[in-house]
């Protein structure tokens, strides 16, 4: 739930461009972007390049998929940390309850009251 609230808060702070394009803009210079665009528009001649050409449209999908996988790993790490913290708190609670409980051994000893 905390992650969802954080995501909602971040979403409100995004600019319009970030809402439309969820990933950072290219770090290439204008000329480099034009070269890359020209290369992508050319029909590939090598077999491997032709096979990759079929999957160019999935680039955005894989970016989102990888982002989701990273978030999943981060959440798993947080879950493990919270689980360890929960075990420690339960252990401390058991120790506390054992310290305040009355045992039969205590009742068998002479009591000044």
Task: Tell me which H or E stretch contains 88.
Answer: helix 59-100
Place of tokens 């919270």: 82
- HSE toward the beta carbon, residue 72, CA cutoff 13 A: 6
Confidence of residue 83 (pLDDT cuts 50, 70, 90): very high
4-19 tens-digit pLDDT? 565 666 666 666 665 6
Q: Taking a C-beta distance cutoff of 8 angstroms, is the pair 50, 44 a contact? A: yes
Angle at CA of residue 64, ends 55 and 46, nearest 5°: 20
pTM score: 0.45
Q: Taking a C-beta distance cutoff of 8 angstroms, is the pair 28, 36 a contact? A: yes
How many Cβ atoms are within 10 Å of 21's Cβ, its own excluded?
11
41-64 tens-digit pLDDT? 777 677 777 677 666 666 777 777
Confidence of residue 77 (pLDDT cuts 50, 70, 90): very high
């Amino acid at each position: 739930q905390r992650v969802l609230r954080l995501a909602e808060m971040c979403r409100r702070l995004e600019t319009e461009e970030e809402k439309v394009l969820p990933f950072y803009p290219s770090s290439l210079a204008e000329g480099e972007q034009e070269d890359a665009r020209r290369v992508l528009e050319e029909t590939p001649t090598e077999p491997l390049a032709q096979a990759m050409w079929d999957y160019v449209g999935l680039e955005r999908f894989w970016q989102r998929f990888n982002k989701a996988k990273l978030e999943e790993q981060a959440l798993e790490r947080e879950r493990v940390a919270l689980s360890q913290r929960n075990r420690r708190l339960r252990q401390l609670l058991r120790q506390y309850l054992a310290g305040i409980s009355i045992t039969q051994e205590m009742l068998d000893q002479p009591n000044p009251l």
